[in-house]
Amino acid sequence: MAYLNANIPVQYAQIKKEYLYDLKKHHGEVEDCIIFAIASITGRPILFHAIMENGAVFYRLPISAFIQRGFQPEAVPTRRLDELELWNCFSYYPSVTNFDILDGQSGKYIGKDKKWHYGSYLFTVDFAHPESNIIDTDHSEIPHEHKCAHILALDDGNYAAQPNNRIIWDIPSFTVKDEIPDWKVQTSEWNVEDTGQWKTEDTDNFFYEIEEKKND
């Protein structure tokens, strides 16, 4: 698992130039870039690293700083960062995965505006706590608090980062039910070794026996 920075599948995108000038000028202008990595800082949104055509690299920009290639900036609706990404990072330890079943699939997420926003899957950022010798002050390992962030290329030209409980995926050969689940948030911590009901035999046998504990 990476610490702080992690590679991502490269995205050929456009950067809003005002983000290169601390939001002070060049509003409405864009230039081509390649987004190649993220930074995960607890309590901050996912931050992206990009290289420009002049060879310079700019670090730690929010997802709202970018639009997709092929879109004219005036045609892409301006959305607040908190509309595009619902939650901050849960840990300094991100994991980046491209799930095969979702790769290239379309989906939709329900926004704060109560509307569906459509797009396609790019990759997923998840978070965890690395080891017991580091004090765990975040929420990445708490079942009912944990969230991942699926990165989407929206049909309107923006990018978004949304959790599982805001997205409905469309896989035509499988997702045939047209419904919104009424599931409940998981609160269980699953463990197969905490029952106190069994033990292994105390031998050097390779295929050791498993014995039920006798209640006294």
* pTM of this structure: 0.91
Tokens of 139: 């929420």
> Any idea of the CA torsion for 38, 41, 44, 49, to the nearest 10 degrees?
-20
Q: Mean of the pLDDT values across residues 120-129?
A: 94
Write down the pLDDT at residue 130: 77
Q: Which of 91-100, 129-138, 142-151, 204-213 has the highest mean pLDDT?
A: 91-100
Q: How confident is the model at residue 127 (pLDDT cuts 50, 70, 90)?
A: very high
- Render pLDDT for 128-187 as a digit per residue (tens, 0 to 9): 887 767 766 666 666 667 889 999 999 999 999 999 999 999 999 999 998 889 999 888
Residue that has been written with the tokens 């607040």 in this structure: 80
Mean pLDDT of the chain: 92
Q: List, as one string, the DSSP characters of the chain.
A: --SSEEEEEEEEEEEEGGGGGTTSS-TT-EEEEEEEEEE--TTS--EEEEEETTS-EEEEE-GGGEEETT--GGGSPP--HHHHB-S--S-S-EEEE--TTTTT-EEEEE-TTS-EEEEEEEEEEEE----TTS---SSTT-TTT---EEEEEETTS-EEEE-GGGEEEE-TTT-----------------SS-S-SEEE-SS--SS--EEEPPP-
Q: Specify which residues 118 forms β-bridges with.
A: 108
Write down the pLDDT at residue 128: 87
Write down the pLDDT at residue 136: 67
Q: Mean of the pLDDT values across residues 10-35?
A: 98
Torsion angles phi and psi, residue 83, rounded to 5: -80, -30
- Render pLDDT for 21-32 as a digit per residue (tens, 0 to 9): 999 999 999 999
SS3 string, 177-210, reads CCCCCCCCCCCCCCCCCCCCCEEECCCCCCCCCE
Write down the pLDDT at residue 211: 86
Using the predicted structure, report yes or no on whether residue 203 has a pLDDT greater than 80.
yes
Instruction: Count CB atoms within 10 A of the CB of residue 35.
Output: 23
d(Cα 162, Cα 117) in Å, to the nearest integer?
11
Write down the pLDDT at residue 140: 62
